[in-house]
Amino acid sequence: MLKTPFFELESRYNAFFTEFAGCLLPLHFGSAIEEALLVRNDCGFFDISHMGRIKIKGEDAEKLIKKIFSRNELKERKGHYGFLVSQEGKVIDDIVVFKNNPSDFFIVVNAARKEKDIELLKYEIETNKLKAEIKDISSETAFVAIQGPKAKDRIKELSEIKNLPPAESIIQLKRFSFIEKGETFISRTGYTGEDGFELSLPAELAEEIWKILVRIAKPCGLAARDILRLEAGLILYGLDLDENTSPFGSHLEKFISEKSERFELVKKNFLANPQFLKGVILDGFPIPQSGDETEPEGKITSAVFSAVLKKPIAFARFKENLKEGERINVKVRGKKIVQGTITKVPFIQKD
Predicted pLDDT at 351: 63
Q: Pick the closest to residue 89 from 300, 310, 248 (CA basis).
A: 248
Task: Give mean pLDDT in consecutive 10-residue pieces for the chain, a chain of 351 residues.
Answer: 96 97 96 98 98 98 98 97 98 98 98 98 98 98 98 92 90 96 96 98 97 97 98 98 97 97 98 97 97 97 98 98 98 94 93 63
Domains and CATH numbers, the chain: 2-48+139-231 (3.30.1360.120), 53-136 (3.30.70.1400), 253-343 (2.40.30.110)
Predicted pLDDT at 90: 98
Predicted pLDDT at 98: 98
Predicted pLDDT at 159: 84
Predicted pLDDT at 163: 82
